[in-house]
Structure 1
Amino acid sequence: MEQKQINLSSLTESFEKLAENNWTLSQEVFAPEFCKQLAHECQKLYSEGQLNKASIGPSGNKITAAEVRGDYTLWLDGDTSPIQKQFLDCLETIREELNRFFFLGLKRVESHFAFYPPESGYDKHIDNPRGASHRKITFVLYLNESWQKEHGGELSLYNPERPEELLARVEPRLGHLIFFRSDLFPHQVEKSFTPRLSLTGWFRDDAL
Protein backbone atom coordinates (compact mmCIF):
# COMPACT_ATOMS: atom_id res chain seq x y z
CA MET A 1 0.00 0.00 0.00
CA GLU A 2 2.65 2.53 1.03
CA GLN A 3 4.64 2.14 -2.19
CA LYS A 4 1.63 3.50 -4.12
CA GLN A 5 2.17 6.77 -2.23
CA ILE A 6 5.92 6.88 -2.98
CA ASN A 7 7.62 7.39 -6.32
CA LEU A 8 10.64 5.13 -5.85
CA SER A 9 12.34 6.47 -8.96
CA SER A 10 12.16 10.04 -7.60
CA LEU A 11 13.34 8.76 -4.22
CA THR A 12 16.43 7.23 -5.82
CA GLU A 13 17.15 10.51 -7.63
CA SER A 14 16.89 12.30 -4.27
CA PHE A 15 19.39 9.90 -2.72
CA GLU A 16 21.84 10.51 -5.56
CA LYS A 17 21.70 14.26 -4.82
CA LEU A 18 21.93 13.57 -1.10
CA ALA A 19 25.10 11.58 -1.70
CA GLU A 20 26.59 14.46 -3.69
CA ASN A 21 25.57 17.45 -1.56
CA ASN A 22 24.53 16.02 1.84
CA TRP A 23 21.08 17.54 1.25
CA THR A 24 18.41 17.27 -1.41
CA LEU A 25 14.97 18.61 -2.32
CA SER A 26 12.32 16.75 -4.31
CA GLN A 27 8.77 17.58 -5.37
CA GLU A 28 7.73 14.14 -6.60
CA VAL A 29 8.46 11.51 -3.93
CA PHE A 30 4.99 11.55 -2.35
CA ALA A 31 1.70 11.49 -4.25
CA PRO A 32 -0.04 14.92 -4.13
CA GLU A 33 -3.40 13.52 -3.00
CA PHE A 34 -1.70 11.69 -0.13
CA CYS A 35 -0.03 14.95 0.93
CA LYS A 36 -3.44 16.68 0.92
CA GLN A 37 -4.83 13.96 3.18
CA LEU A 38 -1.92 14.44 5.57
CA ALA A 39 -2.50 18.22 5.53
CA HIS A 40 -6.15 17.73 6.44
CA GLU A 41 -5.14 15.38 9.26
CA CYS A 42 -2.75 17.99 10.67
CA GLN A 43 -5.37 20.74 10.46
CA LYS A 44 -7.98 18.54 12.15
CA LEU A 45 -5.65 17.55 14.99
CA TYR A 46 -4.66 21.17 15.61
CA SER A 47 -8.28 22.34 15.62
CA GLU A 48 -9.09 19.59 18.14
CA GLY A 49 -6.30 20.77 20.45
CA GLN A 50 -4.26 17.59 20.09
CA LEU A 51 -1.00 19.35 19.14
CA ASN A 52 1.21 20.59 21.96
CA LYS A 53 3.51 23.60 22.20
CA ALA A 54 6.95 22.45 21.08
CA SER A 55 9.85 22.54 23.51
CA ILE A 56 13.59 23.05 23.11
CA GLY A 57 16.65 21.89 24.99
CA PRO A 58 18.28 18.56 25.88
CA SER A 59 16.27 15.55 26.94
CA GLY A 60 15.29 15.84 30.57
CA ASN A 61 15.59 19.63 30.54
CA LYS A 62 13.00 20.75 28.00
CA ILE A 63 11.49 24.22 28.04
CA THR A 64 9.06 26.13 25.83
CA ALA A 65 10.25 29.41 24.34
CA ALA A 66 7.93 30.89 21.72
CA GLU A 67 10.48 33.52 20.72
CA VAL A 68 12.85 30.70 19.68
CA ARG A 69 10.44 28.02 18.48
CA GLY A 70 6.77 28.71 17.83
CA ASP A 71 5.31 25.49 16.47
CA TYR A 72 2.85 23.00 17.91
CA THR A 73 3.61 19.31 17.41
CA LEU A 74 2.19 15.82 17.70
CA TRP A 75 4.41 12.76 17.52
CA LEU A 76 3.05 10.15 15.15
CA ASP A 77 1.74 6.89 16.56
CA GLY A 78 0.63 4.27 14.09
CA ASP A 79 -2.20 3.21 16.40
CA THR A 80 -4.00 6.57 16.35
CA SER A 81 -5.29 6.86 12.77
CA PRO A 82 -5.04 5.01 9.44
CA ILE A 83 -3.42 7.97 7.63
CA GLN A 84 -0.69 8.26 10.28
CA LYS A 85 -0.01 4.53 10.08
CA GLN A 86 0.16 4.76 6.31
CA PHE A 87 2.70 7.58 6.50
CA LEU A 88 4.79 5.68 9.05
CA ASP A 89 4.74 2.69 6.70
CA CYS A 90 6.05 4.99 3.96
CA LEU A 91 8.85 6.14 6.25
CA GLU A 92 9.81 2.52 6.89
CA THR A 93 10.09 2.01 3.13
CA ILE A 94 12.31 5.10 2.90
CA ARG A 95 14.43 3.88 5.84
CA GLU A 96 15.00 0.56 4.09
CA GLU A 97 15.90 2.33 0.85
CA LEU A 98 18.32 4.67 2.69
CA ASN A 99 20.06 1.66 4.20
CA ARG A 100 20.22 -0.07 0.82
CA PHE A 101 21.65 3.02 -0.87
CA PHE A 102 24.00 4.34 1.86
CA PHE A 103 24.62 1.35 4.21
CA LEU A 104 23.78 3.62 7.16
CA GLY A 105 22.44 0.99 9.55
CA LEU A 106 19.35 3.07 10.30
CA LYS A 107 17.15 1.20 12.76
CA ARG A 108 14.11 3.43 13.24
CA VAL A 109 12.41 6.70 12.38
CA GLU A 110 10.64 9.29 14.52
CA SER A 111 8.25 11.87 13.11
CA HIS A 112 5.78 14.54 14.16
CA PHE A 113 3.27 16.95 12.69
CA ALA A 114 4.37 20.57 13.02
CA PHE A 115 1.87 23.43 12.89
CA TYR A 116 3.24 26.99 12.92
CA PRO A 117 0.58 29.63 13.68
CA PRO A 118 0.99 33.03 11.97
CA GLU A 119 3.91 35.13 13.24
CA SER A 120 5.88 32.08 14.40
CA GLY A 121 9.14 30.44 13.29
CA TYR A 122 12.11 28.49 14.62
CA ASP A 123 15.54 30.08 15.16
CA LYS A 124 18.71 28.69 13.60
CA HIS A 125 19.82 25.35 15.04
CA ILE A 126 21.42 21.99 14.20
CA ASP A 127 19.41 18.80 14.75
CA ASN A 128 22.41 16.75 15.86
CA PRO A 129 25.11 19.18 17.08
CA ARG A 130 28.59 17.68 17.23
CA GLY A 131 27.14 14.28 16.29
CA ALA A 132 25.98 13.84 19.88
CA SER A 133 22.70 12.04 19.14
CA HIS A 134 21.50 9.15 17.00
CA ARG A 135 19.69 11.35 14.49
CA LYS A 136 21.41 10.83 11.14
CA ILE A 137 19.11 12.05 8.36
CA THR A 138 16.52 14.80 8.82
CA PHE A 139 13.47 15.02 6.58
CA VAL A 140 10.68 17.57 6.20
CA LEU A 141 7.57 17.02 4.08
CA TYR A 142 5.60 20.24 3.52
CA LEU A 143 1.80 20.21 3.57
CA ASN A 144 0.77 23.73 2.51
CA GLU A 145 -1.73 23.55 -0.34
CA SER A 146 -1.91 27.23 -1.29
CA TRP A 147 1.47 28.64 -0.27
CA GLN A 148 2.39 32.04 -1.72
CA LYS A 149 5.70 33.90 -1.51
CA GLU A 150 4.26 36.53 0.85
CA HIS A 151 3.27 33.79 3.32
CA GLY A 152 6.89 33.34 4.44
CA GLY A 153 7.75 30.21 6.41
CA GLU A 154 10.63 29.08 4.18
CA LEU A 155 13.33 26.75 5.50
CA SER A 156 16.71 28.50 5.35
CA LEU A 157 19.60 26.05 5.03
CA TYR A 158 23.13 27.26 5.82
CA ASN A 159 26.64 26.19 4.86
CA PRO A 160 28.10 23.85 7.52
CA GLU A 161 31.59 25.33 7.01
CA ARG A 162 30.39 28.96 6.98
CA PRO A 163 27.23 29.02 9.10
CA GLU A 164 26.31 32.58 8.08
CA GLU A 165 26.27 31.66 4.38
CA LEU A 166 22.80 30.80 3.08
CA LEU A 167 22.82 27.73 0.84
CA ALA A 168 19.14 27.48 0.00
CA ARG A 169 15.74 28.78 0.98
CA VAL A 170 13.14 26.04 0.57
CA GLU A 171 9.54 27.01 -0.10
CA PRO A 172 7.11 25.00 2.07
CA ARG A 173 4.86 23.99 -0.81
CA LEU A 174 2.64 20.92 -0.69
CA GLY A 175 4.67 17.80 -1.48
CA HIS A 176 8.12 19.40 -1.29
CA LEU A 177 10.38 16.97 0.57
CA ILE A 178 13.84 17.81 1.87
CA PHE A 179 16.47 15.44 3.28
CA PHE A 180 19.71 16.57 4.90
CA ARG A 181 22.39 15.26 7.22
CA SER A 182 21.29 15.97 10.77
CA ASP A 183 24.82 16.66 12.05
CA LEU A 184 25.86 19.16 9.39
CA PHE A 185 23.39 21.87 8.47
CA PRO A 186 22.35 24.88 10.52
CA HIS A 187 18.79 25.72 9.49
CA GLN A 188 15.87 27.84 10.57
CA VAL A 189 12.19 28.27 9.82
CA GLU A 190 11.51 31.82 8.71
CA LYS A 191 8.54 33.61 10.27
CA SER A 192 5.30 32.47 8.71
CA PHE A 193 2.43 34.87 8.09
CA THR A 194 -0.14 32.14 7.54
CA PRO A 195 -0.56 28.72 9.17
CA ARG A 196 2.35 26.49 8.10
CA LEU A 197 2.03 22.70 8.14
CA SER A 198 4.64 19.98 7.78
CA LEU A 199 5.74 16.52 8.83
CA THR A 200 9.25 16.49 10.26
CA GLY A 201 11.40 13.65 11.50
CA TRP A 202 14.69 11.82 11.73
CA PHE A 203 16.08 8.51 10.62
CA ARG A 204 18.11 7.12 13.53
CA ASP A 205 20.73 4.43 14.00
CA ASP A 206 19.63 3.42 17.52
CA ALA A 207 17.00 0.88 18.53
CA LEU A 208 14.12 1.60 20.89
Structure 2
Amino acid sequence: MNTCSFNDLNARVACIIDDLAEQGWSLQTHFIAPTLTLELAEECRKRAAAGLLVQAGVGRSALAVISEGLRGDHIQWLDAGQNAACDQYLAVMDAVRQALNQALYLGLEDFESHFALYPPGAYYKKHLDRFRDDDRRAVSVVFYLNEDWRAEEGGALRLHLADGSCRDVLPHAGSLLVFLSADMPHEVLPATRERLSLTGWLRRRGAAPF
Protein backbone atom coordinates (compact mmCIF):
# COMPACT_ATOMS: atom_id res chain seq x y z
CA MET A 1 0.00 0.00 0.00
CA ASN A 2 1.30 3.44 -0.97
CA THR A 3 0.90 6.64 1.01
CA CYS A 4 1.29 10.08 -0.57
CA SER A 5 1.32 13.59 0.88
CA PHE A 6 -1.44 16.07 0.05
CA ASN A 7 0.92 18.26 -1.96
CA ASP A 8 0.38 16.48 -5.29
CA LEU A 9 -3.09 15.25 -6.28
CA ASN A 10 -1.73 13.34 -9.28
CA ALA A 11 0.71 11.42 -7.08
CA ARG A 12 -2.00 10.61 -4.55
CA VAL A 13 -4.34 9.34 -7.24
CA ALA A 14 -1.52 7.27 -8.76
CA CYS A 15 -1.09 5.60 -5.37
CA ILE A 16 -4.80 4.78 -5.28
CA ILE A 17 -4.70 3.32 -8.79
CA ASP A 18 -1.73 1.08 -7.93
CA ASP A 19 -3.33 -0.11 -4.70
CA LEU A 20 -6.70 -0.90 -6.28
CA ALA A 21 -5.01 -2.88 -9.03
CA GLU A 22 -2.83 -4.81 -6.57
CA GLN A 23 -5.08 -5.40 -3.57
CA GLY A 24 -8.51 -3.85 -4.15
CA TRP A 25 -8.22 -1.10 -1.54
CA SER A 26 -6.14 1.96 -0.71
CA LEU A 27 -5.62 4.19 2.33
CA GLN A 28 -4.18 7.67 1.79
CA THR A 29 -3.48 9.93 4.76
CA HIS A 30 -3.62 13.74 4.50
CA PHE A 31 -5.47 13.38 1.21
CA ILE A 32 -6.59 17.00 0.98
CA ALA A 33 -5.40 20.19 2.69
CA PRO A 34 -6.17 20.35 6.44
CA THR A 35 -8.05 23.63 5.99
CA LEU A 36 -10.56 22.00 3.64
CA THR A 37 -10.88 18.96 5.92
CA LEU A 38 -11.72 21.29 8.83
CA GLU A 39 -14.28 23.19 6.75
CA LEU A 40 -15.98 19.92 5.81
CA ALA A 41 -16.09 18.82 9.45
CA GLU A 42 -17.61 22.15 10.47
CA GLU A 43 -20.23 21.83 7.72
CA CYS A 44 -21.14 18.34 8.90
CA ARG A 45 -21.58 19.52 12.50
CA LYS A 46 -23.57 22.55 11.33
CA ARG A 47 -26.00 20.35 9.41
CA ALA A 48 -26.29 17.95 12.33
CA ALA A 49 -27.06 20.81 14.73
CA ALA A 50 -29.77 22.03 12.34
CA GLY A 51 -31.37 18.59 12.34
CA LEU A 52 -30.61 17.95 8.67
CA LEU A 53 -28.91 14.58 9.18
CA VAL A 54 -31.41 11.76 9.44
CA GLN A 55 -31.02 8.17 10.57
CA ALA A 56 -29.87 6.04 7.66
CA GLY A 57 -31.93 3.14 6.44
CA VAL A 58 -30.98 -0.19 4.90
CA GLY A 59 -31.76 -0.66 1.23
CA ARG A 60 -32.24 1.57 -1.76
CA SER A 61 -33.81 5.06 -1.50
CA ALA A 62 -37.58 4.80 -1.03
CA LEU A 63 -37.27 1.10 -0.18
CA ALA A 64 -34.84 1.74 2.68
CA VAL A 65 -35.94 0.72 6.16
CA ILE A 66 -34.52 1.78 9.51
CA SER A 67 -32.64 -1.06 11.19
CA GLU A 68 -30.95 0.06 14.40
CA GLY A 69 -29.57 -3.44 14.87
CA LEU A 70 -27.59 -3.15 11.63
CA ARG A 71 -26.50 0.50 11.42
CA GLY A 72 -26.76 3.61 13.56
CA ASP A 73 -25.39 6.46 11.47
CA HIS A 74 -27.17 9.68 10.52
CA ILE A 75 -26.68 11.03 7.00
CA GLN A 76 -27.38 13.82 4.53
CA TRP A 77 -26.60 13.58 0.82
CA LEU A 78 -24.40 16.18 -0.85
CA ASP A 79 -25.70 18.30 -3.71
CA ALA A 80 -23.55 20.59 -5.83
CA GLY A 81 -23.90 24.30 -5.20
CA GLN A 82 -24.91 24.11 -1.54
CA ASN A 83 -21.54 24.76 0.08
CA ALA A 84 -18.12 25.85 -1.23
CA ALA A 85 -16.13 23.27 0.75
CA CYS A 86 -18.41 20.45 -0.39
CA ASP A 87 -18.08 21.62 -3.99
CA GLN A 88 -14.28 21.51 -3.68
CA TYR A 89 -14.48 17.96 -2.34
CA LEU A 90 -16.81 16.89 -5.14
CA ALA A 91 -14.40 18.38 -7.69
CA VAL A 92 -11.51 16.37 -6.23
CA MET A 93 -13.58 13.19 -6.38
CA ASP A 94 -14.44 13.88 -10.00
CA ALA A 95 -10.73 14.14 -10.78
CA VAL A 96 -10.24 10.79 -9.04
CA ARG A 97 -13.08 9.33 -11.12
CA GLN A 98 -11.53 10.45 -14.37
CA ALA A 99 -8.09 9.13 -13.41
CA LEU A 100 -9.46 5.71 -12.40
CA ASN A 101 -11.32 5.47 -15.68
CA GLN A 102 -8.20 6.31 -17.67
CA ALA A 103 -5.98 3.84 -15.82
CA LEU A 104 -8.33 0.98 -14.90
CA TYR A 105 -11.15 1.27 -17.47
CA LEU A 106 -13.85 1.06 -14.81
CA GLY A 107 -16.49 3.01 -16.74
CA LEU A 108 -17.26 5.30 -13.79
CA GLU A 109 -19.90 7.86 -14.70
CA ASP A 110 -20.68 9.79 -11.53
CA PHE A 111 -20.12 10.15 -7.79
CA GLU A 112 -22.65 10.20 -4.97
CA SER A 113 -21.74 11.07 -1.40
CA HIS A 114 -23.25 11.91 1.97
CA PHE A 115 -22.15 13.17 5.35
CA ALA A 116 -22.24 10.38 7.93
CA LEU A 117 -22.35 10.98 11.68
CA TYR A 118 -22.12 8.05 14.08
CA PRO A 119 -23.17 8.98 17.64
CA PRO A 120 -21.11 7.40 20.43
CA GLY A 121 -21.79 3.65 20.51
CA ALA A 122 -23.23 3.50 17.00
CA TYR A 123 -21.94 0.93 14.50
CA TYR A 124 -22.60 -0.62 11.09
CA LYS A 125 -22.47 -4.41 10.91
CA LYS A 126 -20.56 -6.32 8.24
CA HIS A 127 -21.90 -5.67 4.74
CA LEU A 128 -21.09 -5.05 1.08
CA ASP A 129 -21.72 -1.71 -0.64
CA ARG A 130 -23.83 -3.28 -3.38
CA PHE A 131 -27.58 -3.63 -3.72
CA ARG A 132 -28.86 -6.98 -4.95
CA ASP A 133 -30.75 -5.35 -7.82
CA ASP A 134 -28.30 -2.53 -8.65
CA ASP A 135 -24.61 -3.00 -9.45
CA ARG A 136 -23.74 0.60 -10.30
CA ARG A 137 -21.65 1.23 -7.19
CA ALA A 138 -18.15 0.19 -8.24
CA VAL A 139 -15.73 2.01 -5.93
CA SER A 140 -16.43 3.00 -2.31
CA VAL A 141 -14.84 6.17 -0.94
CA VAL A 142 -14.69 7.23 2.73
CA PHE A 143 -13.08 10.51 3.79
CA TYR A 144 -12.64 11.06 7.52
CA LEU A 145 -13.22 14.33 9.39
CA ASN A 146 -12.23 13.54 13.01
CA GLU A 147 -9.43 15.60 14.53
CA ASP A 148 -7.08 14.13 17.14
CA TRP A 149 -8.62 10.66 17.00
CA ARG A 150 -7.06 8.14 19.40
CA ALA A 151 -6.98 4.38 18.89
CA GLU A 152 -8.59 3.75 22.27
CA GLU A 153 -11.68 5.68 21.10
CA GLY A 154 -12.55 2.86 18.67
CA GLY A 155 -14.61 3.65 15.57
CA ALA A 156 -12.42 1.78 13.08
CA LEU A 157 -13.70 0.65 9.72
CA ARG A 158 -12.78 -3.04 9.55
CA LEU A 159 -12.02 -4.41 6.10
CA HIS A 160 -12.48 -8.16 5.66
CA LEU A 161 -9.80 -9.11 3.14
CA ALA A 162 -9.86 -11.94 0.62
CA ASP A 163 -7.18 -13.92 2.48
CA GLY A 164 -9.36 -14.08 5.60
CA SER A 165 -7.49 -11.39 7.49
CA CYS A 166 -8.85 -8.03 8.63
CA ARG A 167 -7.50 -4.51 8.43
CA ASP A 168 -8.78 -1.84 10.83
CA VAL A 169 -8.71 1.75 9.57
CA LEU A 170 -9.07 4.44 12.22
CA PRO A 171 -11.09 7.53 11.21
CA HIS A 172 -8.29 10.10 11.36
CA ALA A 173 -9.08 13.49 9.84
CA GLY A 174 -7.76 13.80 6.29
CA SER A 175 -7.54 10.05 5.59
CA LEU A 176 -9.18 8.69 2.46
CA LEU A 177 -10.12 5.01 2.22
CA VAL A 178 -10.97 3.66 -1.25
CA PHE A 179 -12.00 0.08 -2.07
CA LEU A 180 -13.82 -1.99 -4.68
CA SER A 181 -17.45 -2.06 -3.60
CA ALA A 182 -18.31 -5.59 -4.73
CA ASP A 183 -15.22 -7.27 -3.30
CA MET A 184 -14.69 -5.83 0.17
CA PRO A 185 -17.00 -6.75 3.06
CA HIS A 186 -16.55 -4.25 5.87
CA GLU A 187 -18.05 -2.97 9.11
CA VAL A 188 -17.86 0.12 11.31
CA LEU A 189 -16.98 -0.55 14.93
CA PRO A 190 -18.54 1.50 17.75
CA ALA A 191 -16.66 4.52 19.10
CA THR A 192 -16.71 6.37 22.39
CA ARG A 193 -17.08 9.76 20.67
CA GLU A 194 -18.93 11.22 17.71
CA ARG A 195 -17.51 9.97 14.41
CA LEU A 196 -17.76 12.03 11.20
CA SER A 197 -17.05 11.14 7.59
CA LEU A 198 -17.99 11.73 3.98
CA THR A 199 -19.03 8.39 2.51
CA GLY A 200 -19.59 7.96 -1.19
CA TRP A 201 -19.49 5.78 -4.28
CA LEU A 202 -18.07 6.13 -7.75
CA ARG A 203 -20.72 4.62 -9.96
CA ARG A 204 -20.72 3.08 -13.41
CA ARG A 205 -23.59 2.83 -15.84
CA GLY A 206 -25.99 0.04 -15.06
CA ALA A 207 -29.46 -1.19 -15.79
CA ALA A 208 -32.09 0.69 -13.82
CA PRO A 209 -33.39 -1.49 -10.96
CA PHE A 210 -37.01 -2.56 -11.00
2:144 to 142, 145, 149: 142
Partners of 1:129 and 1:53 in 2: CA distance: 19
Q: Does the 8 Å contact 2:60/2:131 carry over to 1?
A: no
Q: Tell me whether 148-157 or 58-67 shows the greater mean CA deviation.
A: 58-67
Partner of 1:93: 95
Partners of 1:60 and 1:125 in 2: CA distance: 20
Count, aligned residues: 202
Partner of 2:106: 104
Structure 1: gaps spanning 5 or more residues: none
Amino acid across the alignment from 2:180: R
Partner of 1:188: 187
Q: CA deviation at 1:18?
A: 1.4
Amino acid across the alignment from 2:159: L
Q: CA deviation at 1:6?
A: 6.3
TM-score (norm 1): 0.90
TM-score (norm 2): 0.89
Partners of 1:70 and 1:8 in 2: CA distance: 35
Partners of 1:194 and 1:142 in 2: CA distance: 14
Q: Does the 8 Å contact 1:6/1:29 carry over to 2?
A: no
1:110 is paired with a residue whose SS is: strand
Structure 2: gaps spanning 5 or more residues: 1-5
Partners of 1:20 and 1:178 in 2: CA distance: 15
Q: Does the 8 Å contact 1:131/1:183 carry over to 2?
A: no
Partner of 1:14: 16
Q: CA deviation at 1:58?
A: 4.0
Q: Does the 8 Å contact 1:119/1:193 carry over to 2?
A: yes
Amino acid across the alignment from 1:27: T
Percent identity, aligned pairs only, is 36
Partners of 2:128 and 2:8 in 1: CA distance: 28
Partner of 1:27: 29
Residues 1:38 and 2:70 aligned together: no
Q: Does the 8 Å contact 2:27/2:177 carry over to 1?
A: yes
Q: Tell me whether 142-151 or 53-62 shows the greater mean CA deviation.
A: 53-62
Partner of 1:167: 166
Q: How do 1:197-208 and structure 2 match up within 5 A? A: 197-206=196-205
